[in-house]
């Protein structure tokens, strides 16, 4: 058994509280598209706990290799092989998903990539599906904590396109993509889980 698998302490800390909320949303069988699988810890934990789901992990072509060893070792029957996905591409290599999950990606992507992610999801998500987005978010341009402010400053110093996103901006973006912010759940370490649903065309 591999013992030197890529590991994220943040994933280890947040996987249980996230799972508690996902159980309330991902209630029906279907394929979950995970955008930004990272080390694969979320995919392994969530898929094992929710066997009624088929989990499709994806990550950027530069990062997809990180999750592969863990997921291959876990060999869960309801986890598909990880797919390389750049959200900025016009045609995504995955379809027919009912649910979408993404953690700690919106503040890493450039805003244009966040827009493209929402647009693709809005075009493909069925009306009975949902998109769950986890991470730190601002409200009315204000930080929810001093630690989030420090984290945002760290992100922007690392790369100008990064930064904690504002809930109002994400909600407006969702509406333009035929999605609605239905629920906001406070999570540990000053994070939130946002639940977006698809609005049927009237």
* Architecture field, domain 29-198: 3-Layer(aba) Sandwich (3.40)
Q: What is the pTM of this model?
A: 0.97
> What integer pLDDT is reported at residue 202 of this predicted model?
45
pLDDT surpasses 80 at 199: no
What is the enclosing helix (H) or strand (E) of 180?
strand 179-187
> pLDDT digits over 126-179, tens only?
999 999 999 999 999 999 999 999 999 999 999 999 999 999 999 999 999 999
pLDDT surpassing 50 at residue 8: yes
User: In terms of Cα–Cα distance, which of 95, 87, 91, 103 is closest to 124?
Assistant: 95
Tell me which residue has tokens 């540990």.
188
- Take residue 70 and report the two structure tokens written for it: 């863990």
d(CA 202, CA 63): 39
pLDDT > 70? residue 3: no
């Amino acid at each position: 058994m591999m013992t030197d698998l890529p590991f994220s302490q943040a994933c280890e800390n947040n996987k249980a509280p996230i799972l508690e909320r996902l159980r309330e949303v991902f209630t029906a069988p279907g394929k979950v598209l995970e955008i930004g699988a990272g080390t694969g810890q979320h995919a392994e934990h969530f898929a094992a706990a929710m066997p009624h789901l088929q989990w499709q992990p994806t990550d950027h072509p530069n990062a997809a290799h990180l999750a592969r060893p863990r997921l291959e070792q876990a060999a869960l029957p309801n986890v598909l092989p990880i797919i390389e996905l750049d959200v900025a591409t016009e045609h995504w290599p995955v379809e027919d998903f009912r649910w979408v999950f993404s953690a700690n990606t919106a503040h890493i992507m450039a805003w244009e990539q966040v827009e493209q992610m929402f647009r693709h999801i809005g075009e493909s998500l069925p009306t009975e599906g949902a998109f769950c987005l986890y991470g730190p978010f601002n409200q009315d341009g204000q930080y929810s904590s001093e630690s989030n402010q420090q984290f945002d400053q760290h992100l922007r110093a690392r790369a100008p396109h990064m930064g904690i996103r504002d809930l109002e901006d994400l909600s407006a973006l969702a509406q333009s993509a035929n999605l609605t912010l239905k629920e906001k759940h406070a999570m540990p370490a000053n994070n939130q889980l946002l639940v977006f649903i698809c609005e049927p065309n009237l």
